[in-house]
C-alpha cells in the first residue's frame, strides 16, 4: 500500500473509484478468445493489439470503426461492418460484468456521507451504455469519463477535473485504481492512492491506514 502523508486516512471526504477491474470484473479468457476468433488471431495477440490503440479510443479521438480497423490492420486482417459491430458489442458485454461487492461498499460509503466518484478511461460507446444502464451512476457525487472530457489517465488534468467536480482538496480524496501508473499520477497531485488487486487486499490496506468503513467480500 502507498498513501500520501502519514499513511492515515482519517480526514477523507471523497473516494474516487476506477471503473475497469475495480467496479467491474476483469475480462474473462473466454471473452477475449471469442473476440480473437472474429479476427482469426491468437488471444494473446488480440489482447496486445486491443491495448495498443486504446488510449485514443478512450479519449474519444477514434470512432469504434476506426479503432477496430486499426486493431485488425495490426493483426494483418480485414474486417467488415458486421464484424466491427460484433467486436464492439462484445467489448461492451466484456466490460459490463459489475463487481457487486465493490458497488455495495460504494453504497455504504455514500450512506456515511462520504462523497464518491468514478474516474475512468472509457470510450464513448461504453460511456453511453453505462449512463443508460447503470442506475448506480446517478447515486455518485461525480463521474469523470475520459471520452466526455477528452482527457485520459494518467494526464494530471483529468484528476483535477474530478476533484473540482467533487469539491474536495487532493489530500481529502482517495483514489482506488488497478494500475500503478494511474496511482502515481494521482499521488503526484497529493491524492491518496491504493492499488486494487482484490477486496481482501483493499480491506487490509484500508484497515492499516485506519479507515473506519471497510469493504467485505459479500458486498
Domain end position, chosen among 62, 94, 126: 94
Tell me how crowded residue 189 is: count the other CB atoms within 10 A of its CB: 16
User: pLDDT value at position 116?
Assistant: 98
How many C-alpha atoms does 195 have within 13 Å on its Cβ side? 11
Considering only CA atoms, which of 177, 178, 187 is closest in space to residue 156? 187
Domain end position, chosen among 65, 94, 123: 94
Whether 78 and 131 map to the same domain: the answer is no
Whether 123 and 20 map to the same domain: the answer is yes
Whether 21 and 124 map to the same domain: the answer is yes
Whether 60 and 121 map to the same domain: the answer is no
Whether 83 and 148 map to the same domain: the answer is no
For the chain, what percent of residues have pLDDT higher than 90? Answer: 94
C-alpha angle 49-30-27 in degrees, rounded to nearest 5:
60
Tell me, yes or no, whether 145 lies in a domain: yes
Alpha carbon dihedral 17, 19, 21, 27, in 10-degree steps, equals: 180
User: pLDDT value at position 5?
Assistant: 47
> Average pLDDT for residues 139-152, to the nearest whole number?
98
User: pLDDT value at position 41?
Assistant: 97
Domain end position, chosen among 68, 94, 120: 94
The pLDDT tens digits of the residues spanning 159-184 come to 999 999 999 999 999 999 999 999 99
Distance CA 124, CA 147 (A): 5
Tally the domains of the chain: 2
> C-alpha 214: how far from its chain's center?
20
CATH code of 133's domain: 3.40.50.1000
> Average pLDDT for residues 95-102, to the nearest whole number?
98
Range of 48's domain?
A: 29-94
Amino acid at each position: 500500500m502507498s498513501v500520501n502523508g502519514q499513511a492515515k486516512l482519517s480526514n477523507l471526504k471523497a473516494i474516487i473509484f476506477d471503473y475497469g477491474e475495480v467496479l467491474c470484473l476483469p475480462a474473462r479468457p473466454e471473452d477475449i478468445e471469442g473476440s480473437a476468433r472474429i479476427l482469426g488471431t491468437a488471444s494473446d495477440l488480440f489482447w496486445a493489439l486491443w491495448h495498443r490503440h486504446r488510449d485514443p479510443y478512450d479519449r474519444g479521438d477514434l470512432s469504434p470503426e476506426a479503432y477496430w480497423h486499426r486493431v485488425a490492420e495490426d493483426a494483418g486482417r480485414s474486417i467488415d461492418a458486421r464484424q466491427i459491430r460484433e467486436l464492439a458489442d462484445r467489448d461492451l458485454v466484456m466490460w459490463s460484468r459489475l463487481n457487486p461487492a465493490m458497488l455495495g461498499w460504494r453504497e455504504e460509503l455514500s450512506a456515511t456521507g462520504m462523497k464518491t466518484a468514478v474516474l475512468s478511461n472509457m470510450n464513448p460507446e461504453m460511456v453511453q451504455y453505462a449512463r443508460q444502464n447503470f442506475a448506480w451512476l446517478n447515486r455518485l457525487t461525480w463521474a469523470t469519463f475520459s471520452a466526455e472530457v477528452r482527457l485520459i489517465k494518467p494526464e494530471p488534468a483529468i484528476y483535477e477535473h474530478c476533484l473540482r467536480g467533487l469539491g474536495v482538496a487532493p489530500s481529502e480524496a482517495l483514489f482506488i485504481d488497478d494500475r500503478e501508473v494511474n496511482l502515481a499520477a494521482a499521488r503526484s497531485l497529493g491524492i491518496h492512492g491504493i492499488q486494487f488487486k482484490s477486496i481482501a487486499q483493499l480491506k487490509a490496506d484500508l484497515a492499516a491506514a485506519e479507515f473506519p468503513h471497510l469493504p467485505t467480500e459479500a458486498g
